[in-house]
Structure 1
Amino acid sequence: MTVVMISGASAGVGRAVVRRFAGPGMKLGLIARDEARLEAAAQEVRAAGGDALVLPGDVADPETSERAAEQLEAAFGPIDIWINVAMVTVLAPVARTTAEEYRRVTEVTYLGTVHGTLAALKRMRPRNHGAIVQIGSALAYRSIPLQSAYCAAKAAVLGFTESLRTELLHDQSAVTVTMVQLPAVNTPQFDWARNKTGHRAQPVPPIFEPEVIADAIHHAAFHPRREYWLGFSAAKAIVADKVAPALADRYLAATGYSGQLTDAAERDRPDNLYESVPGDVGARGRFSDRASGTSPAIWASEHRDALLGLGALAATGLAAGLLARAMKGRRRG
């Protein structure tokens, strides 16, 4: 039996993660604001042979995570894995984003992760057992225009997680913390995130289906390491910011607006910044015609150690072959 807590479990990547973990012997705790969507997610878990506990609440409130942890362990036993997925965002230039909007995105996307992590650590550290998975983004490293609140929150998650990791190493704790940096994903967020641009939003290609991301998160939970960079696009953004940040600034200044916005107008629709938007939309958004259901780069990231081992073995074999050929030539001489 494996007990897993998932925040942001009712839609998008979180919903895909719920489906990926569902199965015989799996006991899932599901946190999100929309109770009806959580009930639908729980039914999917039960239909797959697992069990689920619906735990409605807003992760911006630290009591939500603490209460959820108490209830999940009372129902199913010690938590083995905690996955922090919950997020909100605002699409707008900095000058048009209010202080309250920045506060709200920070409270959910950053502090929600902190609250979940604290609740997990409170239980995992005394047992010296457990895995925490933080859902990050390539934007934690390389900020883009129109998403300053989200980029800043994910950067804060990165800083928090790196500090925590060093402390766990110092304490020689067996508790692991892994951060998974996401690329663009086909989720419903583009139709319910607060958007003040006047144009309909879209993810910047290449776009991946949430099931691909959920597979990688599942792998990370059971094969923890420092970080996973999902997809070549995420790796490219992270490395580009390290190597040539000023060039990346200019590139994004030229392409960052048009890449995220369509020509279609969008005004006066509900958003989920403070309240959830009704309706069970599942995991996917409206971009499946442009989204990929596979990723060789993600597979390579998951199997990095094996590939490095094969590379070393191949290099050793090549070196041995060259040495044998040289020795044979020397004997002939």
Structure 2
Amino acid sequence: MQLKSIGQQVVAIVGASSGIGRDTAVKFAERGAKVVVAARSEPGLQSLVAEIRNLGGEATYVIADVSDFQQVKAIADKTVAEYGRLDTWVHTAATGVIAPFEKITPEEFARVVDVTLMGQVYGAMAALPHLKQEGRGALIHISSMEGRRSLPLQSPYSTAKHGLEGFLDALRVELQHEKWPIAVTSILPATINTPYYNKVRTKLGVKPTGVPPYYQPSLVSDAILYAAEHPTRDFVVGDAGKILDLVQRVSPALADSLLLAIAFQGQRTNEPKSADAPNNVFEPIAGYDKVEGDFRNLSIPSFLDNLDKNPPLKWGALAVAALGIATALGIFGKNEI
């Protein structure tokens, strides 16, 4: 499957007013792509388009709530009307309620699923006809490591991300069966330093935080741009996410014990915050139209992501590791004899 170079692409980015989406939009534009950005926050979109144009890029915006299919469809339609086609669809929009399950209302749970899962489903529904019209392209959906391993206190978000992984698995095989050269990628970030934890609703009594360590949004946007040119099934961003994924695969009970030890206190700061504080669950809120959140001091580098962008190096490293393990086992076996 051959995807266009980024400089030749028309890209729609949903959930672009802040965080990963905002950083991704700027990077696509810097490399010559034409971009259409969408979110609920018009001030955030206006400032983003102005930033891109000041850099010499081409961009326009669409205001949309992703829980409404017609509004999502309008993003894809606007992209084609403005630039003649759609090559890559990037979907980052999400919201959350951080609280014990018993304190979450049915309306709150449903809203998180509507935005974080159904919004992504609507995105694929809206984008696919245009990608098929073009004859190739990429669907890039921002999932989460919570799509592989749920976290306590984040049951609606974890539910939505698990559902997204199931949806993408089914869609990917259907497109392969129909022989469409359309890449379907799931990006699964670990804890990322975006304004997400400023904007979501919390019932912990304090401002929430992700379980450290944090990684900077640029790691995720770099993975997205890589997937836009290189068909990629999934991409776990952040070494801690890769470790958690391995633990979950080897022993879910061990992952349970690990999270029991660190995830409850690890998602709490010491900053008081009430349940009725402004949040973005049902409406956008002002003041957070930026890329980074408040946890840069907890951010660390990630070393293994570069292996995922270099498959020969990745498989070579794995082969060396396997050979080393086999050699060690052989030595131990001889010693036992």
User: 1:119 aligned to 2:126?
Assistant: yes
Q: 2:210 is matched with which residue: 196, 203, 214?
A: 203
Whole-angstrom distance in 1 between the partners of 2:232 and 2:289: 32
Does 1:241 find its partner at 2:214?
A: no
Matched, 1:66 2:73: yes
Q: How does 1:183-262 map to 2 (within 5 A)?
A: 183-262=190-269
Which residue of 1 is the match for residue 40 of structure 2? Answer: 33
Classify the secondary structure of the residue corresponding to 1:69. helix
1:289 maps to 297
Matches within 5 A, 1:254-333: 254-267=261-274, 268-292=276-300, 294-309=301-316
Paired with 2:304 and 2:211, the residues of 1 have a C-alpha distance of: 17
Equivalent residues of 1:89, 1:149 under 8 A apart: yes
SS for the counterpart of 1:74 is: helix
Q: Is the 8 A contact 1:207 1:290 kept in 2?
A: yes
Q: Which of 90, 96, 99 is matched with 1:92 structurally?
A: 99
Amino acid aligned to 2:92: V
Post-superposition Cα deviations, 1:157-186, rounded to whole Å, max 9, x if no partner, equal 100000001101111110110111101001
1:286–1:164 Cα change, 3 Å: same
1:57 corresponds in structure 2 to 64
CA RMSD of aligned residues (A): 1.9
- How far, CA to CA, are the matches of 2:126 and 2:20 in structure 1? 22
4+ residue segments displaced more than 4 Å = 309-316
Conserved 8 A contact 1:24-1:49 = no
Q: Is residue 2:39 matched to residue 1:10?
A: no
**Is the 2:85–2:134 Cα contact (8 Å) retained in structure 1?**
no
Residue 179 of structure 2 corresponds to residue 172 of structure 1: yes
How many aligned residue pairs are there?
315
How far does residue 248 in structure 1 lie from its aligned partner after superposition?
1.4
Of the structure 1 ranges 189-198 and 272-281, higher mean CA displacement relative to structure 2 is found in 272-281
Residue 125 of structure 1 and its aligned partner are, at CA, apart by 2.0
The match for 1:128 among 127, 135, 159 is 135
Distance 1:22 1:67 in 2: 21
Q: Is the 8 A contact 2:307 2:313 kept in 1?
A: no
Give matches, 1:99-114, under 5 Å. Answer: 99-114=106-121
Q: Take 1:152 and 1:24, find their aligned partners in 2: how far apart are those partners?
A: 35
Identity among equivalent positions (%) equals 35
**Partner Cα distance (1:315, 1:194) in 2:** 45
Does the C-alpha gap of structure 1 residues 186 and 178 become closer, same or farther in structure 2, counting only changes over 3 Å? Answer: same
CA distance in 2, matches of 1:247, 1:314: 24
* TM-score between both structures, scaled by the size of structure 2: 0.89
Counterpart in the other structure of 1:331:
none
- Matched-pair contact (CA < 8 Å) for 1:7–1:32: yes
Q: Which residue of 1 aligns with 2:328?
A: none
Structure 2: distance between partners of 1:311 and 1:115: 38
Compared CA separation, residues 264 and 57, structure 1 to 2 (3 A) = same
Q: In 1, Cα distance between the equivalents of 2:63 and 2:223?
A: 26
CA contact (8 A) 2:308 2:314 kept: no
Please give the TM-score of this superposition, normalised by the length of structure 1: 0.90
Structure 1 portions without partners, runs of 5+: 317-333
In structure 2, C-alpha distance between the alignment counterparts of 1:222 and 1:306, rounded to whole Å: 18
5+ unaligned residues in a row in structure 2: which ranges? 1-7, 324-337
